[in-house]
Structure 1
Amino acid sequence: MDVNSMVSAHDVAKLFLSWANRDGDLITNLKMQKLLYYAQVWHLVNFKVPLFSDKIEAWESGPAIPNIYHYFKDCGHSPINYEEIGNEEDVFSSDQLEYLHLFYDKFIGFSAHELVNMSHNELPWKDVFEKGEKFKIISHKSMKDFYPKLLEKPIYPGWPPAEQQPHEPVWPLFGSPLN
């Protein structure tokens, strides 16, 4: 397996939950939706191929992977409890694990609401979301077109607020291919 081999969004969700369980992090269904979205985004930007094939829709709460939402919806707004997945190498290539570790370490610190606010200020979601409409797909093309521009100007206007800007912007972590 390599970065060109797709896994499922469910595999990635289980991996993130396994790491969260190990590290004492909390992931709600809302936060999981955004983590999966941004994992897909930056995989597309860096490797030019999707991480997973599951569709991403523009929901009122931001980008969402419907099958993952429904799988964890019984958790409501509570953190998802999940056990270790076992041997990560059976599911993911070493390149995928390297990428996902880098991604997870950078993004797990954002709250669900910070991730929602970020996605609501970005064109891939804004361009397709229509209140009351369902099943609007956020295309891979829109992600590939928009997110590389953030590498040129890492902190876009209005997010995060100046007093909350990290010393080291999030986006440059993914500024050069990880492979």
Structure 2
Amino acid sequence: MYNCFDVAKQFLKLAKEDGQVLEPMKLLKLTYIAHGWFLGFYDKPLIKNSVQAWKYGPVIPELYHVTKRFGHSNVDIEIVDLYSENKLSNEDKAFLKTIWNAYKGFTGLQLSTKTHMNNTPWKEAYDPKVYHKVISNEIIKEHYKKLIDERR
């Protein structure tokens, strides 16, 4: 399991290689989506940070609070690096590149829409009366396993 900043940093590197801007919303959603697919494929979490059901979708609070200052601008990799433990294996970097290639063409808003549609972990967990409810890894894993099964 990794720190969410390790995963985010890798996405920032991949975006830079492709000449893309990665604003906070897209970075947050990519990190969450990668965590979901990892749970679905490997039955273990990619990140050790919790995911919470906020009003506008799933959020990794630590990553949100560090990156929100960038608004709609590119997140500075040097800021994310301050929190990174730099522990990604080459195998997991390859996994993240696969996720990047699948989702890099979407905007942050499009990814946000995908993560809080009906039948998603966020939709199942969100309760407007409960502030920042945690979305369990089990719920996320079940959702992504279902997506994997649908693609087979």
TM-score tier by shorter-chain length is 0.7 to 0.9
For structure 1, list consecutive stretches of 5 or more residues without a partner in the other structure: 1-5, 154-171
Matched, 1:14 2:2: no
Q: Is the 2:39–2:45 contact (alpha carbons within 8 Å) kept by the matching residues of 1? A: yes
Structure with greater proportional helix content: 2
Decide which of 138, 154, 159 is 2:135's aligned counterpart. 138
Corresponding residue number in structure 2 for 1:37: 32
How far apart are 1:107 and its partner, in Å? 1.2
Corresponding residue number in structure 2 for 1:92: 88
Aligned residues: 146
The amino acid across from 2:93 in the alignment is L
Output the TM-score relative to the length of structure 1: 0.74
Corresponding residue number in structure 2 for 1:129: 126
The farther-off stretch of 101-110 and 124-133 is 124-133
Q: Deviations over 1:104-134 (max 9, x none)?
A: 1111111111111111114310011123632
Matched, 1:149 2:143: no
Q: Deviations over 1:134-153 (max 9, x none)?
A: 22111111012222222343
Output the TM-score relative to the length of structure 2: 0.86
Corresponding residue number in structure 2 for 1:168: none
Corresponding residue number in structure 2 for 1:72: 67
Question: Secondary structure at the residue paired with 1:143?
Answer: helix
Q: Is the 2:7–2:31 contact (alpha carbons within 8 Å) kept by the matching residues of 1? A: yes
Corresponding residue number in structure 2 for 1:116: 112
Separation in structure 2 between the aligned mates of residue 123 and residue 107 of structure 1, nearest angstrom: 17
The amino acid across from 1:105 in the alignment is N
How far apart are 1:58 and its partner, in Å? 0.8
Question: Secondary structure at the residue paired with 1:134?
Answer: coil
Identity %: 33
Matched, 1:82 2:77: yes
Separation in structure 2 between the aligned mates of residue 109 and residue 52 of structure 1, nearest angstrom: 23
Separation in structure 1 between the aligned mates of residue 107 and residue 75 of structure 2, nearest angstrom: 14
Superposed CA RMSD in Å reads 1.9
Separation in structure 2 between the aligned mates of residue 19 and residue 99 of structure 1, nearest angstrom: 12
Q: Deviations over 1:43-87 (max 9, x none)?
A: 00111111110000011221110000011111122221325x6xx
Separation in structure 2 between the aligned mates of residue 7 and residue 99 of structure 1, nearest angstrom: 13
Separation in structure 1 between the aligned mates of residue 7 and residue 74 of structure 2, nearest angstrom: 17
Question: Secondary structure at the residue paired with 1:114?
Answer: helix
